[in-house]
Structure 1
Amino acid sequence: MYSSDEAQAYADQHTTPESPLLARLNRETHVQLLHARMLSGHAQGRLLSMLSHMVRPRRVLELGTFTGYSALCLAEGLAESGLMHTVEQNPELETRIRRYIREAGHEDRIRLHIGDARAVVSGLQETWDLVFIDADKINNDTYYELVLPHVRPGGFLLIDNVLWGDKVLPSYPIKPSDKDTHAVRAFNDKVQADARVENVFLPLRDGLLLVRKL
């Protein structure tokens, strides 16, 4: 029996490498910031880029920019006239995010918003082709219901961290006080039963839920 670490290493070796800019951002995030695991990273970043290239979206929304890695990956597949809005609540990250957006040459294609995602999204008059939800997990359902009416029929949502460190698995004993885990588990169950969408649960990294609006 081979270890999952070996399988992951093999998968990484057979996935297109991240660009030098993304590799630098990846390294900088891990060296300089706490909670660096929040960064999408190589394998998930390439998947986000691939999905974006497949959809060729005109409008993309991201909730939870962190240091900008996933935003840069999603922007790679934008349609020629495409535009991406990304929302980050931590103002201390703004300078770093804008620096990497500028270095990637995406200043005209990525609009960064600093603030509460609920307030920002409510003020955007857009129809979304692709939405990536990677913000505070306890509000997954709130963000989902906020954006789903504005996703075009046939459009896609991606929700990150739906495995939540494997704590959502049925065999895991969840403490009543663990509100985040209860919220993620309830959200996963809700999407599975939602007649408005179809969905695929991908056990990549910390779990990625791919949803298509019907």
Structure 2
Amino acid sequence: MHFLPEKLDDYVVAHSQEEPELLQQLTRETYQKILQPIMLSGPYQGRVLSMLSKLIRPKSILELGTFTGYATLCLAEGLQKEGEIDTIDVNEELVDFQRKYFDKSGYGSQIQQHLGSAIDILPTLDKTYDLVFIDADKPNYSNYFHLVIDKLNPGGIILSDNVLWHGKVVEPLKDKDISTKAVLDFNTLLRNDDRIETVLLPIRDGLTISRRK
């Protein structure tokens, strides 16, 4: 989703770092073999995630919503040498696809895949995190926040994707539009929770940065 005029958006992309070759390969294969390839973070947002991770230098990362592993690998670029990533997804058919690229990247031994519902898996993860990336099913965004906030270290960061939801957050809400309602509620939750400080960035489909106080 692009909210900038096309020419300006092209300029922004052209003057940002290019994605690594491995991620280009991952993107090509995702579009060739996987349904809904539009779910990929994409090269520009991927470089944003990479830059944020490099600035944060996390020792532990939690990702909700792996898909084909593109964002996982972008976040891994800032991981400390002995750091680890826990990434959760419900799609069993993507596990081998993800693992192939994780192992090609050199970060494979640091990435732990979890298959199943994040609602069920999160309570079983007995650790804390420096960086959390939420990019899964929208109706559970608020539930995910409540499950991860106490696992977030002081000064830790939550990145939340798709928080502008194709621009629907500023349109009249339709009665049966559960996902848009969930995103609206989630954005309000982040704005009002006094445990964090939050800024919403109009990057692609919206990316929120929330810092644990």
TM-score by length of 1: 0.96
Q: Greater RCO between the two (CA within 8 Å, min separation 6)?
A: 2
Q: Does 1:121 align with 2:122?
A: yes
- Residues 50-109 of structure 1 deviation map (CA, whole Å, 9 limit, x = unaligned): 111111111000000000000000011111111011011100111100000011111211
Match of residue 196 from structure 1: 195
Aligned equivalents of 1:56, 1:74: Cα separation in 2: 10
Match of residue 137 from structure 1: 138
Aligned equivalents of 2:161, 2:134: Cα separation in 1: 6
Match of residue 112 from structure 2: 111
Match of residue 12 from structure 1: 13
Match of residue 180 from structure 2: 181
Task: List alignment gaps of at least 5 residues for structure 1.
Answer: none
RMSD: 1.0
The alpha-carbon deviation at position 30 of structure 1 amounts to 2.2
The alpha-carbon deviation at position 116 of structure 1 amounts to 0.9
Match of residue 213 from structure 1: 212
- For these two proteins, the number of residue pairs brought into alignment is 210
Match of residue 30 from structure 2: 29
Identity %: 46
Aligned equivalents of 1:59, 1:26: Cα separation in 2: 25
Aligned equivalents of 2:32, 2:161: Cα separation in 1: 23
Check the 8 A contact 2:131/2:157 in 1, yes or no: yes
Query: Which structure carries more helix by proportion?
Result: 2
The alpha-carbon deviation at position 7 of structure 1 amounts to 1.1
Aligned equivalents of 1:93, 1:200: Cα separation in 2: 32
Aligned equivalents of 1:204, 1:83: Cα separation in 2: 26
Aligned equivalents of 1:101, 1:80: Cα separation in 2: 16
- Residues 167-191 of structure 1 deviation map (CA, whole Å, 9 limit, x = unaligned): 011xx12211001101101110121
Structure 1 residue matching 2:167: 3-state secondary structure: coil
* Segment drifting more, 27-36 vs 195-204: 27-36
Match of residue 79 from structure 2: 78
The alpha-carbon deviation at position 154 of structure 1 amounts to 0.6
